[in-house]
Amino acid sequence: MNSLPQPELNERLAAILAISQRMNSQRDLGALLDLIAREATSLLGCDRASIFLLDRERNELWSKVALGSEEILRFDASRGIAGHTALSGDTINVRDAYSDPRFYTAIDDQTGYRTRNVLAVAVRNQSGAIIGAFEALNKRSGVFTGRDEESLTALASHAAIAIETAQLIGELRRNQDELTEQNAHLWREVESRYATHGIMGTGQRIQQIVRLVGRIRDSLVSVLITGESGTGKELVAKALHYNSPRARKPFVALNCAALPETLLESELFGIEKGVATGVNSRVGQFQKADGGTLFLDEIGDLSLAAQAKILRVLQERVMERVGGRTAIPVDVRLLAATNKDLEAEIAKGSFREDLYYRIKVIHLHMPPLREIREEIPLLANHFLKEYCRETARGIMEFSPEVMRKLVNAPWPGNVRQLRNEVMRLTACARLNVIGEDDLWEGIPRPGRDQPAVQPVKLQSLKTAVVEMEQRMIAEALRETRNNQQQAARLLGLSRQGLINKMKRYSITG
């Protein structure tokens, strides 16, 4: 370009600089290609200009704006002058298109345009790889000169940067749109699963709970959920969270019984790096739940020391990591659950009364399944439908005898055990109607183990249940050779739930 007289050289450089600035502010690829083409046309004083991008996989060239049209044009990269440039990297300056064998006449035939002369230069990205070809057609006066070649090459290198940026931004936008869509879909799923109607039951006892969950949806009071193992405590905690203004913030569940005392504090509050050799810093559950809900399951199993620390966080709304000095603000709604009688624990001195009143602003008690037998058909059918939907198995149903037995079974593991049993039945059933032969041993069969439902005097009901529970736990432990995890699964209990019952009945595993 330095062969140009100085004023003309300055003018061209200034023009290229101005074009480059305009290109860099255009983020939409289609509009950018259009802009580059228009700018090149006026800079070179020619009729038309186009940028063709190289699709290496398909060995094709494509452009959004081809010869002034808005349509996408695609053609074989091994044909035509632009293709030749894109594949070889050579600059091609043809004075008479129709006498050059590389010229591909089909496009002129299609568009009715008459190409006289052509200038094509490669478009290279910053690492030197060819990403396309820049082609100018029909110089208005005469033919394309060496200066035009230089100008188009300079313009092409600026265009390459703008094109790659626009492509990258386009890709990021598409990814983001896809993620936003996926996210919205997941939220709809989560919300419909844990909205109050995820709690099944039409009777008084369950309906009362459903109504209460609905009534406190806008409040962030602490709720204590009590009830035996498998009665739906966590289900209700999730319903409380997903129906609250915090629904789109995290729901973090922590089982206090599953953690040894030594780990509990760092699990709850996090730990600073270097507290002990090899310790990396870790965020605690309180911080993970920030803005959302922390569900402390089995809160009755917390040590007095841990209780004191939690109480402090609830009172002061700040916490410190283990080994840390800075007070970190916490914004967490607390939900707690236990199958222990906390008032009895308070009397024994193993649960703090002040913490009890903090967490029990509202108290929800989940009834054991044996007290809400009328809900069993609804629950069983609900789980059956869930199974059929998830496994895409056709419609299944229970035979009336099976349903009767489900209603009358003892269910020490409550709803979870019922759910497990339904899942087992459906998975094993050979026909679409689940019959008596598929039943679990623990469910009494008339004429074999014992008569159908024995009329039990109300007074002895509790004792009968206790006896049945003890027998079933012993049986499950024997069957699984004392594997508590498996025995708990068999009974529809959590492992901790089983351990609690074993402790209560002094059963040693």
Ligand X SMILES: Nc1ncnc2c1ncn2[C@@H]1O[C@H](COP(=O)(O)OP(=O)(O)OP(=O)(O)O)[C@@H](O)[C@H]1O
Which residues make up the interface to ligand X (CB under 6 A)? 199-201, 206, 227, 229-235, 297, 339, 379, 415-416, 419, 493-494, 497
How far apart, in Å, do the first and last CA atoms of the chain sit?
A: 91
Closer residue to Mg ion (CB): 158 or 419: 419
Residue placing its CB nearer to Mg ion in the complex, 63 or 494: 494
In angstroms, the CA 201 to CA 234 distance is 16
Binding site partner of 491, from ligand X, Mg ion, none, Cβ cut-off 5-8 A by kind: none
Count of CB atoms situated within 10 Å of the CB of 156: 23
Strand ranges, E, within 173-312 = 223-227, 251-255, 270-271, 282-283, 293-297
Stretch that binds Mg ion, among 191-199, 232-240, 278-286, 444-452 (CB under 5 A): 232-240
Residue 201: which of ligand X, Mg ion, none does it interact with, CB under 5 to 8 A by kind? Answer: ligand X
CA dist 121 and 85 (Å) reads 6
Q: Indicate the residue among 118 and 493 with the shorter CB distance to ligand X.
A: 493
Report which residue's Cβ sits closest to Mg ion. Answer: 234
- Give the CA distances from residue 370 to residues 73, 408, 415, 456, 483, in Å, rounded to whole numbers and listed in that order: 71, 8, 10, 13, 26
* Shortest Å distance, C-beta 488 to ligand X: 9
Name which of Mg ion, ligand X, none residue 150 binds, using a CB cut-off of 5 to 8 Å depending on partner kind: none
Least Å distance between CB 495 and ligand X? 9
Min dist CB 375 to ligand X, Å, is 7
Contacts 24+ apart (CB under 8 A), 214-220: 214/243, 216/240, 216/362, 217/243, 217/244, 218/244, 218/245, 220/244, 220/245, 220/246, 220/333
Shortest Å, Cβ 389 to ligand X: 14
80, interface contact from Mg ion, ligand X, none, CB < 5-8 Å by kind: none
Can you point out the beta strands (E) in 339-494? 362-366, 397-398, 433-434
When the beta carbons of 47 and 297 are compared against Mg ion, the nearer one is: 297
In the bound state, the residue with its beta carbon closest to ligand X is: 232
- Select the binding partner of residue 473 from ligand X, Mg ion, none (C-beta < 5 to 8 A, by kind): none
What is the rounded distance in angstroms from the CA atom of residue 421 to the CA atom of residue 150? 79
| Residue 270 tokens, joined | 């996090």
133 binds, among ligand X, Mg ion, none (CB under 5 to 8 A by kind): none
457: DSSP letter: -
State in angstroms the smallest separation of the CB of 425 from ligand X: 16
Contact between residue 269 and residue 232 where contact means Cβ atoms under 8 Å apart: no
Distance of closest approach, residue 236 Cβ to Mg ion, in angstroms: 10
Long-range contacts of 432-441 (CB under 8 A, 24+ apart): 432/394, 432/395, 432/396, 432/397, 433/396, 433/397, 433/398, 433/399, 434/396, 434/397, 434/398, 434/399, 434/402, 435/399, 435/401, 435/402, 436/399, 436/401, 436/402, 436/405, 438/402, 439/402, 439/405
Q: Measured from the CB atom, is 80 or 292 closer to Mg ion?
A: 292
292 or 413, CB closer to ligand X?
413
Q: Is 47 in the site for Mg ion (CB under 5 A)?
A: no
Q: Which is nearer to Mg ion, 234 or 267 (CB)?
A: 234
User: What is the total count of residues that contact Mg ion (CB under 5 A)?
Assistant: 1
The gap from C-alpha 10 to its chain's centroid, in whole angstroms, comes to 56
Q: How far is the CB of 307 from Mg ion (least distance, A)?
A: 19
By beta-carbon proximity to Mg ion, the closer residue of 150 and 234 is 234
- The secondary structure element, H or E, covering residue 240 is helix 233-242
Any idea what DSSP says for residue 322? B
At its nearest, how many Å lie between ligand X and the CB of residue 482?
A: 20
Options 76-84, 228-236, 360-368, 398-406: segment touching Mg ion (CB under 5 A): 228-236
| Min CB(297)–Mg ion separation in Å | 5
- Give the residue with the Cβ less far from ligand X, 320 or 386: 386
The torsion angle over the Cα atoms of residues 33, 34, 36 and 38, rounded to 10 degrees, is 160
User: Residues 253, 237: contact at Cβ < 8 Å?
Assistant: yes
What type of residue sits at position 504?
A: R
Q: Is 234 in the site for Mg ion (CB under 5 A)?
A: yes
The partner in contact with residue 227, picked from Mg ion, ligand X, none with C-beta cut-offs of 5 to 8 angstroms by kind, is ligand X
Nearest approach, Cβ of 492 to ligand X (angstroms)?
Answer: 8
In the bound state with ligand X, the residue whose beta carbon lies nearer, of 232 and 284, is: 232
Out of ligand X, Mg ion, none, what residue 301 binds, judged by CB under 5 to 8 A for its kind, is none
Site residues (vs Mg ion, CB under 5 A)? 234
